[in-house]
Amino acid sequence: MATDVSLPRLGQGMEAGTIVRWLKSEGDQVEKGEPLYELDTDKVTQEVEAEASGVLLKILAGEGEEIEVGKRIAVIGEQGEDVEAEAEAEVEVEVEEDEQEEGSPGAAREEERERGREAAADEEPAADGAQPSRVNGRIKASPLARRIARERNIDLSSLTGTGPEGRIVAEDVERAAATPAHATVGAAPLEAEVVPLTSIRRTIARRLTKAWEAPAFQISMSADMTRAQALRERLRDQKVTVTDVLTKLAAIALLRHREVNAHFADDELRIFPSAHVGLAVATERGLVVPVIKEAERKSLVQLAIERGQLVERARDAKLTQEDLEGGTFTISNLGMYGVEIFTAVLNPPQAAILAVGAIEEKPVVEDGEVVARPLMAMTLTCDHRAVDGAKASEFLRELKTLLEEPGLAL
């Protein structure tokens, strides 16, 4: 009895995923619970375990293809079971292009037959089953033409061959090299590098476009970070950072102004009794926002450890769906890049997001005297459907007060 393997829904809102890598090949024995493939979903890459034991009879989804949740991606069953016919009908499987190496079968023929073949070759149809992108994938060019093109950085696919059977010969490349782009009328079209969207990039695009629908407003304040920095200095050995201090104090401020610790969900507001603070983390693959749960209840050292682990997992693309779920508020810190002030885009359905910049020594007037103070600019973006300006200001003032006098958080 063959068992279908379908693409699972690994988290709320997951609609599709991309199989990064099959960990088993067709014909391999698979045990239930054994990792079967790596799945790239909304912001997470994780190993997915086999749902049944048996032989991996057929892989229906190729690596790199985006698959909808629920689609059949493989079949596990007993050796020798025939799953081909029904399998092929359901999902298109990438078909290896027939090897059409020029000349190799003809080499054994007689010279004159070979010559006859040349004339016929022009009408040879493309190999059946070839992917459209592969039809012209093989460029016919002489080795010399290829070498010259390589040396002069000329794209062979932009040339038309004038040799036998349309082959690009050296002369074609020489001609192209002798005709610089600026000699033609107008500027040469700029060739952009085309990068297909990764699953994570697609998620970012979808969510942030959605965020743009919200009527958002921003308010800014600067906090004197003298005491927050002093606190951080005392805990430096425990690897506590300004972000950890900020996370802790923001969580406390959120619970004091719970309207900001909310989700806006179409026809209702969801106000949360605990602050799950998301931290925007830049990775090579794109932005991810792992969440620190119940941040208000954790010590700075605990927060530092948890943040360290989440950031490391994010950079290694090892975050789980659970790491990313349940955020009630988000902090985005670009201070380490020297950014002074910026505004963040909402992270729906959250009602607010805080953008913090670098701590910089600034002149401040105190009692009629100009003194230097380390200031940090904060900009709060709010979804006006959930939060009004006054409430937002109260929250931000609370946070500013706590940063300037952390003892008030007790």
Annotated active-site residue 384? The verdict is yes
Q: Which is nearer to another protein, 103 or 125 (CB)?
A: 103
Min dist. Cβ of residue 97 to another protein (A)? 23
- Beta bridge partners, 30, equal 54
Min dist. Cβ of residue 101 to another protein (A)? 13
Q: How far is the C-alpha of 154 from the C-alpha of 158, rounded, in Å?
A: 8
Q: Which is nearer to another protein, 140 or 285 (CB)?
A: 140
- Is residue 391 within 8 A of residue 371, CB to CB? The reply is no
Residue 19 one-letter amino acid = I
- Beta bridge partners, 393, equal none
Min dist. Cβ of residue 109 to another protein (A)? 9
Min dist. Cβ of residue 103 to another protein (A)? 7
Min dist. Cβ of residue 111 to another protein (A)? 5
Min dist. Cβ of residue 176 to another protein (A)? 15
Q: How far is the C-alpha of 148 from the C-alpha of 161, rounded, in Å?
A: 14
φ, ψ (nearest 5 deg) of residue 318: -115, 15
Min dist. Cβ of residue 110 to another protein (A)? 6
3-class SS string, the chain: CCEEEECCCCCCCCCEEEEEEECCCCCCEECCCCEEEEEEECCEEEEEECCCCEEEEEECCCCCCEEECCCEEEEEECCCCCCHHHHHHHCCCCCCCCCCCCCCCHHHCCHHHHHHHHHHHCCCCCCCCCCHHHHCCCCCECHHHHHHHHHHCCCHHHCCCCCHHHCECHHHHHHHHHCCHHHCCCCCCCCCCCCCCCHHHHHHHHHHHHHHCCCEEEEEEEEECHHHHHHHHHCHHHCCCHHHHHHHHHHHHHHHCCCCCEEEECCEEEECCCCCEEECEEECCEEECCEECCHHHCCHHHHHHHHHHHHHHHHCCCCCHHHHCCCCEEEEECHHHCCCCCCCCCCCCECEEEEEEEEEEEEEEECCEEEEEEEEEEEEEEECCCCCHHHHHHHHHHHHHHHHCHHHHC
Q: Which is nearer to another protein, 113 or 239 (CB)?
A: 113
Annotated active-site residue 28? The verdict is no
Note the residue count of the chain: 410
Closest residue by Cα to residue 46 from 71, 23, 65, 27: 23
Q: How far is the C-alpha of 146 from the C-alpha of 243, rounded, in Å?
A: 54
Q: Which is nearer to another protein, 111 or 369 (CB)?
A: 111
Q: Which is nearer to another protein, 147 or 234 (CB)?
A: 147
Q: Which residues bind another protein (CB under 8 A)?
A: 103, 110-112, 142-147, 162-164, 167, 169-171
Min dist. Cβ of residue 13 to another protein (A)? 54
Q: Which is nearer to another protein, 89 or 108 (CB)?
A: 108
Q: Which is nearer to another protein, 168 or 314 (CB)?
A: 168
Q: Which is nearer to another protein, 149 or 351 (CB)?
A: 149
Instruction: Tell me the catalytic residues.
Output: 384, 388
